[in-house]
Amino acid sequence: LYTYFLPEISVETHKYYVVIDTLRATSTIATALSVGAEYISVVDNPDEAFKIKEDNTLLVGERNAMKISGFDYSNSPSEILKNAAHFKDKKIVLCTTNGSKALLLANSKGITIATSLLNLKATLQYLIAKKIDDIGIICSGTDGRVSLEDVFTAGRILSVLSKQDITYFNDESYIALNMANIPHTRIMQYSTHSQKLKKIGLDKDLTMCFNESLLNVVPISKMGKNCFKSKI
């Protein structure tokens, strides 16, 4: 099992990738599916989102943590939850700064699960039930820098997987594992991206994104399909 603290680090080939963008892309994906969105496609630039928009589609995304002009919603789990009814049976095109890149990279290489603290338990139950052990956990980071909250989420996953029959952990996996018992509130307090979201008044997203295992969804896309649907 390999953990990558950034998607920019040369990622090996694995059958499954677990992509983490705790704040906030993979939390957004889990939330949208939990309120009944049909599926989520990921793009990494807004023009592409406008291009592939069909009927019954919502454009969701951010630049500099704010809603993209012309989009329906920002990359905001709490905003999605508040407008839950609007998401039922909708196709979602998601465009974010860092999460999109990690998700697209992973999905070009293997089956991809979008994970966050929000859907941690559901993801673990899926991985364990299917006895999946060829896993690359990719943390999205922020603009090429490692993100505390992503490595923490990886650690929370690894603390459970380390009790399974998985024989190899790379060095980053052991580093992440050592963070698993730090209180969530500490990570929220110290992470750079948390502080940025707090400063611009997005406290509701912070509180929600650190609510571990609130949602029972496993957003998964077949390799190369870029179509995240829930397995639960």
Interacting residues toward ligand MLT by CB under 6 A: 21, 23-25, 62, 65, 75, 96-99
Is the CA virtual torsion 207, 213, 218, 220 positive or negative? positive
153's torsion region: left (phi>0), alpha (psi -120 to 50) or beta? alpha
* Shortest distance in whole angstroms from residue 96 CB to ligand MLT: 3
For the CA atoms of 12, 103, 141, 202, the dihedral, rounded to the nearest 10 degrees, stands at -160
* Shortest distance in whole angstroms from residue 25 CB to ligand MLT: 4
How is residue 68 written in tokens? 């993209």
Q: Pick between residue 174 and residue 200 the one whose CB is nearest to ligand MLT.
A: 200
Angle at 125 between CA 119 and CA 129, to 5 degrees: 150
* Shortest distance in whole angstroms from residue 87 CB to ligand MLT: 17
Q: Pick between residue 75 and residue 107 the one whose CB is nearest to ligand MLT.
A: 75
Per DSSP, 145 falls in state B
* Shortest distance in whole angstroms from residue 205 CB to ligand MLT: 8
Q: Pick between residue 75 and residue 115 the one whose CB is nearest to ligand MLT.
A: 75
Q: Pick between residue 24 and residue 156 the one whose CB is nearest to ligand MLT.
A: 24
